[in-house]
Amino acid sequence: MKWSDWTMPAGRQVWRRHPGVRTHEQLTRAERAADRMRNLMGSWAFVFGALAFLASWMMGNKGTGFDPYPFILLNLVLSCVAALQGSILLIAAKRSDQISAELAVHDYETNKRALELIEAIHALTVAQKEAEDRP
């Protein structure tokens, strides 16, 4: 398999096609949610969306709104988001560790099988060499 088979047009890796990683149907609902949240929160769209939200909140409450400066309600909302985001990031890290572990197990099993094949080929080569050396 070529490297280009493992990348998408945008350059993102498609490790989901790896035989050692469970697919969408094999994942629990929580694992799928963790993957979606990780992909959402780790994107530029999330960053720009958050900046747009903050700017619109500040512009909309510029003195006469329901949360005038110093934006106490906004600080409360941001604190809650930060607390939840920390937990979500830990869940996403745990999910990434799980994917790495699944890949490592697959690689180990592949290497173990390759070693068995190499040893079998070596034994056949030695036997063939011994058979050729006999008169």
Domain boundaries, the chain: 28-133
User: Dihedrals φ, ψ of 82, to 5°?
Assistant: -65, -40
Q: Give Cβ neighbours of residue 27 (< 8 Å, ≥ 6 apart).
A: 35
Report the pLDDT value the prediction gives residue 89, as an integer from 0 to 100: 82
Asked if the model's pLDDT at residue 20 lies above 70, the reply is no
User: Which two structure tokens, joined as six digits, stand for 115?
Assistant: 């070693």
* Comparison of pLDDT for 26 and 123, the residue scoring more: 123
The answer to whether 71 and 61 are in contact (CB under 8 A) is yes
Q: What is the mean pLDDT of the chain?
A: 82
Q: Please, which pLDDT band fits residue 48 given cuts at 50, 70 and 90?
A: very high
Instruction: Answer yes or no: is pLDDT of 6 > 80.
Output: no
* Residue 13, strand partner residues: 7
In this predicted model, what pLDDT tens digit does every residue of 69-82 receive, in sequence order? 888 999 999 999 88
Using CA atoms, how far apart are residues 59 and 86, in angstroms rounded to an integer? 27
The answer to pTM > 0.85 is: no
pLDDT at position 112, please? 94
